[in-house]
Chain A
Amino acid sequence: MSVLTPARATGRITRINPVAKLAASLVLSAFLLVTIDWVSAAVALALESILFAWAGLGARAFFRRTIAIWIAAPLAGITTLLYGVTDGQIYFQFWLIHISDGSIALAIATVLRILAIGLPAVVLFATIDPTDLADGLAQVWHLPSRFVLGALAGMRLIGLFLQDWRHLELARRARGLGDTGRIRRFAGQAFALLVLSLRRGSKLATAMEARGFGGDTVRTWARPSTFGAAEWLLVVIGAAIGATALAVATVSGSLNFVIG
């Protein structure tokens, strides 16, 4: 199964309209972006773990999909530790680097915040079927269908491009260029991939036009995309987690606005 055709309808979360997942994730992020403090991030993370358990994505799949965030969060934390806003006692100082009480607190907050924002974003996206997403974007959110479908049709070529990339790589070895110049070779392959993709894109556009795409007729949709109670519930859950996190942070006095 490719990324474009994940098995449909397994696990509760998969059946929910993708635009609801998108919305829930964005709403939740919007709340958490307001502040940088460890309390709100920790509360959100705790509430989200319940959501993750409910989503029915196995532990293995969960960590495989989110590995990038588990790596990136501590790295961003280190950056903040070194260059964070200085406050309280300073423990170490060199050029722009100041490690202080303030930067330590901010570093912890940064790590938790990235996890709290990033994990649900990835988990909700992991179960999205692109075709369903396109249906939702065009039918529920009423984004222009020509662009939504054009993008979707382009996505279908992912598999072909991966195959192209592999052949481009093998061909370079076969032509005696595989021994040296990795960066140069990468650039060359990237260029060749762009040429191939432009070719395929032009042909695909002709094929789509030949099937009446982009005409003046108002198009119909073979598969309806609906936004019902389950979808609203997910968005409300997202908002509730964010609001609760902010409320707890406010009450505990740890709220720390990003802007201002």
Chain B
Amino acid sequence: MHATTTTTVRSTKPASGAGRRGSYRWRVVDIVVASVIGVASGLIFWVWGLTYTPLSTGLEALLPGAQGLTGGVWLFAGVLGGLIVRKPGAALFTELVAAIVSALVGTQWGVLTLVSGLVQGLGAEIVFAIFLYANYRVYVAVLAGAGAGLAMGINDSIFWYAGNSADFKTIYIICGTIGGAVIAGLLSWIVVRALARTGALNRFAAGREVTARV
């Protein structure tokens, strides 16, 4: 009886329930790793902020747009999550978790950090969606970073720089986009390659692509 039951079950169902709805369904490991990347990124943001921004903040306030360039650092979580997990919503989810961590650890903007995270994550997410979650080459990563930077630029222009001139806003948004493309986009792509070589991404297509079959 056992033999017959199991044979039929086995032929219809591979190893677990995952993957039934094609590759778009998130596995548990996708969810947990995306959130863990978010958490680690949130902490990296925080340490970065503690260590390096007090020196530069004053200067940035005086130079139009410089904030936008360095703002790219705050955007890498989403692109990284999207590149590693490769599921719809990965960039959004990861950036949002990073934002929550920033808000929890303190020194940040409370609930508004979540709004920023949501908007920035969405900027990257839209780019991955345009490529149908099937293309994760370097130019897609750069575009996703740019998307996040653009979203950040627009969002900040409304929230914080509402009273500023159109010139300032334009420069700020352009700088944000460039910063996002380079720091969040290109850098994240390089980081994913390096992470794959450590074997930490073995459960992900992003990791198995880089490491040879051993």
Contact = CB atoms under 8 A, between A and B. Distances in A.
Q: Do chains A and B touch in the complex (CB under 8 A)?
A: yes
Interface of A: 3-4, 21-22, 25-26, 29, 33, 36, 65, 67-69, 71, 75-76, 78-80, 82-86, 96, 98, 103, 106-107, 109-110, 113-114, 117-118, 120-126, 128, 130, 146-147, 150-151, 153-155, 157-158, 161-162, 165, 186, 190-191, 193-195, 197-202, 204-206, 208-209, 213-216, 258-259
Interface residues of B, number: 61
B61 interface: yes
B1 to A, nearest CB: 24
Given A125-B110, A202-B203, A215-B17, A109 B39 contact: no
Q: Which among A79, A154, A209 has the highest number of chain B CB atoms within 10 Å?
A: A154
B34 interface: yes
Contacts of A75: 57-58, 61
Q: Which among A113, A165, A195, A201 has the highest number of chain B CB atoms within 10 Å?
A: A201
B103 to A, nearest CB: 6
A79 B28 contact: no
Contacts of A29: 111-112, 115
Nearest to A147: B31
B37 A201 contact: yes
A194 B162 CA distance: 36
Contacts of A147: 26, 31, 93
B34 A150 contact: yes
A123 B110 contact: yes
Contacts of A36: 162-163
A154 B97 contact: yes
Nearest to B157: A258
Interface string B189-211: 00100110010110100000000
Nearest to A83: B168
B200 A33 contact: no
A106 B40 contact: no
Given A68-B108, A118-B110, A186-B51, A201 B33 contact: yes
Contacts of A162: 43
A226 to B, nearest CB: 21
B109 A69 contact: yes
Contacts of A3: 104-106
B166 to A, nearest CB: 8
B104 A79 contact: no
B212 interface: no
A33 B159 contact: yes
Interface of B is mostly: helix
28 contacts: A3-B104, A25-B111, A69-B109, A75-B58, A76-B160, A79-B64, A80-B163, A85-B164, A96-B64, A109-B163, A114-B160, A117-B159, A118-B109, A123-B110, A146-B26, A151-B97, A153-B32, A161-B39, A190-B44, A194-B40, A194-B191, A195-B195, A197-B37, A201-B33, A202-B200, A205-B31, A209-B28, A216-B17
Smallest CB-CB A-B distances: 6 pairs: A106-B163, A154-B35, A201-B36, A121-B110, A150-B31, A122-B110
B130 interface: no
A80 B161 contact: yes
B160 A110 contact: yes
A13 to B, nearest CB: 13
Given A80-B164, A85-B164, A117-B112, A195 B198 contact: yes
A215 to B, nearest CB: 7
A236 B126 CA distance: 34
Contacts of A4: 104
A151 B35 contact: yes
B47 interface: yes
Interface string B61-79: 1101000000000000000
Interface in B16-41: 17, 26-29, 31-40
Given A80-B163, A96-B64, 14 more contacts: A26-B111, A33-B158, A65-B106, A68-B108, A79-B164, A79-B168, A83-B164, A84-B164, A150-B35, A186-B52, A193-B40, A198-B37, A198-B200, A201-B36
